[in-house]
Structure 1
Amino acid sequence: MASYDKYVSDIIYQNKKMKGDLLMSKIKTCVSLYSLQDEYLNKRMSLEDIFKFLAENEVEGIEIIPDQMLHNTPHPSEETLAEWDRLVSTYKMKPVIADVFLNTNLYKNRELTKKECVDLLIEEIKLANRLGIKLIRLVSMVPAFVIEPLLSYAEKYNVTLALEIHAGLSFDVPKTQEFINEMKRLNSPYVGLVIDTGIFCRKLPRVMADYCKQHLGTKQEVIDYINNIFAQGKDPRKVILEHGGFPADLKKLLISEADHFFAHFSDGYENEPYSVLDEYIPYIKHFHFKLFEMTETGEEYSMDYKGILQYLYEKGYVGYVSTEYEGNRWVLPGHPMVEKEQVLAHQALIRNVIKELEGQEVY
């Protein structure tokens, strides 16, 4: 336990030492507060505790899901807004991006009309502006028809709208392509993309496999089958698409409900080449640097962040990359939640790689 405590304290020290140098970097780091959602949900940390924790560890920017942490979004009370202002001012945090959802199935008997969709997002644009945020992440599958009628509001309030390209819903999905085609047609600086690096998994997240095996009872043979797909440089989603469903030899292994759950869920991790982004670089406004598991070697288990950042550096990307920890959903019962430790380790990794790329000293 003592060695692990030293590991965490070393990370905190590194993060503080690197902050000043990174302020001049073209690639800047921030943290999605979604990464600390279990701390917040279970009241181990308040919103102020989260701000304080990130500020003490020299995090520059924050990403927030207003629905999650600002009551009554998109119409929070004046008291809530005043408290937000106080936290931003007190802890010197830069609000970078708001993650917004469009609940088109809000009602049981119908989907929202086009006008209702647009009206809801107008309110989100106004709120982002009030919070001092200039970028909204639209969740995957937001319909393309909202873009054009929202443009005048985006320009008025100086808030850019960016669709999230998420693993399992990537570039070849029809609704994603519809949005991209409309984005290109309108060619506005107020419309773009947020890239989630879950599309660059080189391995299946180990924490997901361990959870399914140890807690749900998924067979090791099923896990080995999926791991082997990644080892071949492919991903489960593409294999399933190629076969029009699960391959016959995989079907034979799927006996229990836990086996089926694991196999179905595994197609949410993609293994794309970085070059898939080449044509979209001019439209990319932000990155979600997905985090499932930081290892004690200081690397993320599933993704090669040195490779990702090398690609972005060579392409001249200017903007934020945001730690988004999702390993919290795979913590085994009875095991401690390690959101804070994982976030700090991931920030240290990202900052070190940026410093190496820019020829700065790595601590």
Structure 2
Amino acid sequence: MSNIKRSVSFYSLQDHYARGKMNLEDIFKFLKEMGAEMEFISDQMLKGTPHPSEESLKEWDRLMAEYKVKPVCNDIFINTCLYKNRTLTTKEATDALIEEIKLAHRLGFKLVRLVSKTPAEIIEPALPYAEKYDVTLALEIHGGMSFDNPMTKAFIDVIHKTKSPYLGIVVDTGIFCRRHPRVATNYFRSLGVNEEVIKYIDDIFASGTDPKQFFTKQGGRPKELLDLCKNELDHMYTIFSDGYETSDFSILDEHMPYVKHIHGKVYEMTEEGVEYSIPYDELIKYLDEKGYEGYISTEYEGNRFTLDGEEVIELEQVRKHQEMLKKYIAKLGR
């Protein structure tokens, strides 16, 4: 039996939460029913973050005591674009990160996910606080900003320089897509994207690469694609398509010592019980062979592609993904 574990990112349930269909306690109950642990979004779901009121903290403590869901990871955002006329200074961003570290500790988290565009220069000044509060800082490696991205490289350089056990990475499985997400295609199709543009992007994936790599080799979007684009929406579709990457699993080989957590991206769980774009059976086998013993946290993003007039099916998609993870993990031997 593998030691890989399951959790659910509260990000997956953001639509239900924002529309008042579920409150924090409902989400705790939902996770408890599935036997999954918790990845939290404090900026989104804990009022006053990073300085919530004592009343909010008391309610948090009650939920933790009653439902006994393990706090695995807290996703944080250093909002460097907080002001319209400037980005945060290094000191402002560092101070913000320090406050987030303190809150993560108070909530019971030993790991925080740093959003992909976190400035690398704020990490070393904040590192003593990570050590003091026993909170690991892990940068998200996200589709469109994978290991070749300058900001990602800068963070990994800090890991190598400091050799700190309190630094690592969170791998988003959107870098392992084998097909363009069908729900995204159907959403843009409903808005009127040209079918020739859709086919062009699908053909890129079918050839074994992704738009990001393909466009880079071409020196940008090729003329034959631009000629197919008839309006702004067509252009938007091609630009957004480079957020889904087709990296081989081996891209993680040299980075496995730093992998602290996995975002199990979900765009669409099919009726057959598999994710349409990402080969999770192969990925989980790879992770197990590499000795990964952390969490894969369901992160449903298909909600943003819900067609007009249809219901957002967050609960169903999360359940299906968790069932799939549980099945694949159980198949692994030790």
- What percentage of aligned pairs have identical amino acids? 57
Match of 1:43 among 17, 20, 27: 20
Distance across 1 between alignment mates of 2:89 and 2:186: 42
| SS class of match (1:252) | helix
| SS class of match (2:228) | coil
Corresponding residue of 2:213: 238
Q: Indicate conservation of the 8 Å contact 2:2/2:332, yes or no.
A: no
Match of 1:204 among 177, 180, 183: 180
Specify every segment of 5 or more residues in structure 2 that has no aligned partner in the other structure, as ranges.
none
| SS class of match (1:31) | strand
1:25 Cα deviation from its structure 2 partner: 4.5
Match of 1:62 among 34, 38, 48: 38
Q: Which amino acid aligns with 2:87?
A: E
Corresponding residue of 2:197: 222
Q: TM-score, normalised by structure 1?
A: 0.90
Match of 1:175 among 151, 154, 161: 151
User: In angstroms, what is the RMSD of aligned CA positions?
Assistant: 1.0
Q: Deviations over 1:265-323 (max 9, x none)?
A: 10110000000000000001000010000001010000000011011000001111100
1:256 Cα deviation from its structure 2 partner: 1.4
Corresponding residue of 2:291: 316
User: Does residue 34 of structure 1 match 2:29?
Assistant: no
| SS class of match (2:264) | strand
1:110 Cα deviation from its structure 2 partner: 2.1
User: Does residue 331 of structure 1 match 2:306?
Assistant: yes
Corresponding residue of 1:110: 86
Distance across 1 between alignment mates of 2:34 and 2:82: 39
Distance across 1 between alignment mates of 2:166 and 2:196: 48
Specify every segment of 5 or more residues in structure 1 that has no aligned partner in the other structure, as ranges.
1-23
Corresponding residue of 1:136: 112
Match of 1:296 among 263, 267, 271: 271
| SS class of match (2:254) | helix
| SS class of match (1:239) | helix
1:109 Cα deviation from its structure 2 partner: 2.3
**Which stretch shifts more, 348-357 or 111-120?**
111-120
Corresponding residue of 2:235: 260
1:189 Cα deviation from its structure 2 partner: 0.4
Distance across 2 between alignment mates of 1:285 and 1:294: 25
| SS class of match (2:58) | helix
1:336 Cα deviation from its structure 2 partner: 1.3
Q: Deviations over 1:92-113 (max 9, x none)?
A: 1001111011111222222211
Q: Which amino acid aligns with 1:148?
A: E
Q: Indicate conservation of the 8 Å contact 2:90/2:122, yes or no.
A: yes
Q: TM-score, normalised by structure 2?
A: 0.98
Distance across 2 between alignment mates of 1:110 and 1:337: 36
**Which stretch shifts more, 98-107 or 195-204?**
98-107
Q: Indicate conservation of the 8 Å contact 2:267/2:276, yes or no.
A: yes
Corresponding residue of 1:152: 128
Q: Which amino acid aligns with 2:206?
A: A
Q: Deviations over 1:92-145 (max 9, x none)?
A: 100111101111122222221111111110000000000000001000021111
Distance across 2 between alignment mates of 1:223 and 1:232: 15
Distance across 2 between alignment mates of 1:110 and 1:255: 35
